[in-house]
Amino acid sequence: MIKILIIEDNNNLRENLTEILELENYQVITASNGIIGAEKVILEYPDFIVCDISMPQKNGFELYIDVQSVLMNRKIPFIFMSANSQEKEIAEGKNLGVDAYLVKPFKTEELLKTITALM
């Protein structure tokens, strides 16, 4: 079973994404902030990561940089999601090397198609 790590500080969105992905037969683990998320990347060995950018304590960009060696060694696909659709933020994510960027709110189908395409 494919294990997806969702890193999102908004409880409702994190729970909704978990439910959606579990209905699609993915195993889901979650983190409520970037610090916990970075720990789970290392400890849980996810197959895929969906991560918010704007979070307290450690944002998505900082988390990505911190775990980049793990991501590259294990070839873990990484999706950023953010309510901010500014070109600068999208470009920054692409420059870091993330695989995809979803602008909130996004449709369930968009998330699932992105995950399928990156698997």
Residues 7-59 have pLDDT tens digits of 999 999 999 999 999 999 999 999 999 999 999 998 998 999 999 988 888 98
φ/ψ of 32, rounded to 5, equals: -95, -5
The single residue listed with the structure tokens 């920054």 is 92
Tell me the average pLDDT across 79-89. 76
Q: If you compute the radius of gyration of the chain from its CA atoms, what whole number of angstroms results?
A: 13
Whether 78 has a pLDDT exceeding 70, the answer reads yes
What CATH number does the domain containing 11 carry?
A: 3.40.50.2300
Closest CA to 28 of 7, 43, 58, 9: 7
To 5 degrees, how large is the angle CA 117–CA 19–CA 54?
Answer: 70
pLDDT given for residue 67 in this prediction:
86
What is the number of domains present in the chain?
1
Residue 87's CB is within 10 A of a number of other CB atoms, namely 7
Tell me the average pLDDT across 60-66. 89
pLDDT given for residue 74 in this prediction:
76
**pLDDT category of residue 90 using cuts at 50, 70 and 90:** low
The domain of 79 spans 3-118
